[in-house]
Amino acid sequence: MSENCIFCGIVAGTIPSTQVASDDRAIAFMDINPATRGHLLVIPRTHSTDLREASAEDLTAATLLAQSLVGRVIERLDADGANLLSCIGADAWQSVFHTHLHVIPRYKDDPLQLPWHPTPGDLDEINATAATLT
Ligand code: 5GP
Ligand code: ZN
């Protein structure tokens, strides 16, 4: 439990949330600013700032819960697909610093768009970057 963490408050029940699923390591609840109908957040019960800090057990539990919710939004909300998203760092749009996975149901004609415009990259640059990462 981390003081002043909204999501720890949700786990503790001191901050209200609309939960839809849980197990002993993770819980899933509705996002209050839904990108689409049924937008969910899945969080480990144990506090970690972001995915880098979360334990393998917590990440496994959160990912498996997210997997089951993807199936549920497709079945019960008639979604056509879903996006999973985890933001790591403020520059990557993270605004709540407790590890979470967004489960965003997608519908054929929903207004969401990719936030970048895919254009071919420079192959030398791509390969040089790969070398740095290998
Ligand atoms: P991030 O921007 O860190 O990737 O995602 C944080 C998410 O938490 C946002 O989509 C935001 O709408 C959601 N959120 C922030 N505060 C609350 C809250 O008090 N309750 C719920 N249910 N969601 C919240
Ligand atoms: Zn927390």
In the chain, domain spans: 6-133
Catalytic residue among 39, 98, 100, 117: 100
Q: Is 17 in the pocket of ligand 1 (CB under 6 A)?
A: yes
Ligand in closest contact with the CA of 2: 2
**DSSP alpha helix (H) spans, 1-134:** 6-12, 56-76, 123-133
Domain 6-133: assigned CATH number: 3.30.428.10
Is 102 catalytic? The answer is no
**Quick one: pLDDT at residue 37?**
98
Is the distance from CB of 103 to CB of 40 less than 8 angstroms?
yes
**Quick one: pLDDT at residue 12?**
97
Ligand in closest contact with the CA of 30: 1
Ligand 2 center–CA 101 separation, angstroms: 13
**Quick one: pLDDT at residue 2?**
85
Which of 47, 40, 57, 35 has its CA nearest to residue 5?
Answer: 47
* Per-residue model confidence as pLDDT tens for the chain (134 residues): 888 999 999 999 999 999 999 999 999 999 999 999 999 999 999 999 999 999 999 999 999 999 999 999 999 999 999 999 999 999 999 999 999 999 999 999 999 999 899 999 999 999 999 999 99
